[in-house]
Amino acid sequence: MTAATPGEAQANAAPVVLAADRVSFSYGRGAEVLHDVSLALVPGESVGLVGESGAGKTSLLRLLLGLGAPTSGEIRFEGHALDRRDTRSMLAFRRAVQPVYQDPFSSLDPRMRVGDSVAEPLRSLGIAGGRTERAARVTELLESVGLPADAAERYPDAFSGGQRQRIAIARALAPEPRVILADEPVSALDTSVRMQVIELFQRLARERGIGLLLVSHDLTIVAALCRRIAVLEGGIIVEQGETRSVLTEPRHPYTRRLLDSVPRLP
Amino acid sequence: MTALLSVDSLGVHLDGVAGAPLVDDVSFEVAEGERLGVIGESGSGKSLTALAVLRLLAHPLRATGSIRLATGEGDVEVIGARQRRLDGVRGSTVGAVFQEPLASLDPLMRIGAQLAWPLRRHRGLRGDALRRAVLDALAEVQLAAPERIARSFIHEVSGGQRQRVAIALALAAQPRLLIADEPTTALDVTVQAGVLELIQSSVAERGMSLVFISHDLPVVAGIADRVVVMRAGRVVETGETRQLLSAPREGYTRTLVAASRALDDLLPAAPLDGGRV
């Protein structure tokens, strides 16, 4: 291992925005789907959460989004355990933690104009007030993800998969979140578009200092985007560390197997 | 080399809709024992081409041009062939595996019974011989505990196991050509590796030809001798896999190779066994 660069030291010192602290979870009285999982997100840093079907990625994401409560352990937001009954702190939480989903065809309402979809978090989270103010914000958001301002007037069906994912990202950015939780955000996209959306995430994380949790089955995407990686297998984080060192020297056999399974170009 | 499959100026049209055909002037050949990859992004027409070869396009989709399959009893022109002639071709000359095994398997029939169907029909097996052939077919696609799988319904087995069953089903009539349309896209990466290996070894052992359709260049590159690149319903470029990767001629292929290369380069280059220093 190399010594931490100044940038890394700074990132390590940054306050944790969102964390899972020794979280276990089971649905009803079923078997545990997450066991003793700890994970921390700091501003400006991207963490990749890798695992296959049934590993518990989506369950962990639900907990981190405050859509469920852990069976044991806690989800911590800005240093405090998340209390889902405390509506005031949950409102601050919803502003700060935003999701982007895999399928931009189902995550956007086909009957809402794109501008209204992007502005929706502003309204529902009680942020920007006036109509003109909101419109200006929507324009700015769409431009920041590389879409023309007149996109706001159109419906999702006028856009390609990659463009729709940009719209979903613009909507996630609307409340100026500190953390974005992205569930397989490029898996549904063609290879050539995939790289562009990855670059968009990179730029946003850098420019806006947003912490990113990227949930993916695809090691390549995580390698592209994330400084840190956590490998989830059967509800347990089997390996966690700096992406580069985990990928070049995987310690856990499962990480090794994942890497070996990626189809490579000759 | 003789061509097992010759596609010549294939067009797929959407009846009643003016405008360019969905597949336009597509031509390629697959030789006996050859493994051909077809790569393209969403909307490139690669799956429509596969469906046309199997003549599974339904109204309002209509194929034009020529698709010739060499069978034991002479060539069959798939477009325009009589249904009875096609019945003899599907299964025994061409088998197919699709992305979603649930779509090609019957949810209400035990797996063993589904597999027995083509074995009875094409190989004339009955009774104990048939039962043994079902278990052999399941064992051949490396399903552990074939007895249990044969008794199971499709919802009782995993995604990877389903795709293995679908492959067993496609191979049951001992086809000379296997068409695999994104057969591993819905699978986890470690499961995908196993299924790719299975397709590769089945094709090699049986000396079958393969048409392997995918959006994923590394997957295609690992399995195909030759690759057809499709975009917007047309063939952009055809070439030997190695040649296509190292010296793509067309701009679109260059973009595709560069994007895949950029992603590939993100992972450590050395084989991981040598990764430990």
CATH number at residue A102: 3.40.50.300
**Mutation choice for B interface testing from A165, A252, A257, A265 by most B CBs within 10 A:** A265
ipTM: 0.79
CA distance B211 to B213: 6
Q: Is A1 within a domain?
A: no
CA distance A153 to A141: 14
Decide if B250 touches A, using CB distance below 8 A. no
pLDDT at B73: 82
pLDDT at B1: 57
CA distance B77 to A207: 60
pLDDT at A53: 84
Q: Is A44 within a domain?
A: yes
pLDDT tens per residue across span A122-143: 888 888 678 888 889 999 999 9
Which position has the token pair 């690149």? B229
pLDDT tens per residue across span B201-223: 999 999 999 999 999 999 999 99
| Residue A211 contacts residue A12 (beta carbons within 8 Å) | no
- Which residues from B are below 8 Å from A260, CB to CB? 193, 272
Write the burial class of residue A196 (CB in 10 Å: 0-12 exposed, 13-18 middle, 19+ buried). middle
Decide if B71 touches A, using CB distance below 8 A. no
Q: How many domains is chain A built from?
A: 1
> Mean of the pLDDT values across residues A225-247?
95
Q: What is the pTM of this model?
A: 0.82
Amino acid present at B149: I
Q: Quick one: which of B72, B28, B86 has its CA closest to B229?
A: B28
Q: Is A6 within a domain?
A: no
Q: Is A220 within a domain?
A: yes
CATH 3.40.50.620 fits B3-264, yes or no: no
CA distance A199 to A193: 10
Dig out the tokens for B67 from the structure. Answer: 């698709």
**What are the domain boundaries of chain B?**
3-264
Pairing mode, strands A228-233 and A46-50: parallel
Query: Chain A 160-189, CB below 8 Å of chain B: which residues?
Result: 161
pLDDT tens per residue across span B172-194: 989 999 999 999 988 888 889 99
Please answer yes or no on whether A52 and B190 come within 8 Å at the CB atom.
yes
Q: Is A90 within a domain?
A: yes
pLDDT at B4: 95
Question: Which of A195, A219, A262 is facing B262, going by the closest CB pair?
Answer: A195
Confidence band for A228, pLDDT divided at 50, 70 and 90: very high
Give the C-alpha distances (Å, rounded to integers) separating B215 from A44, B7, B158: 33, 21, 23
Decide if A241 touches B, using CB distance below 8 A. no
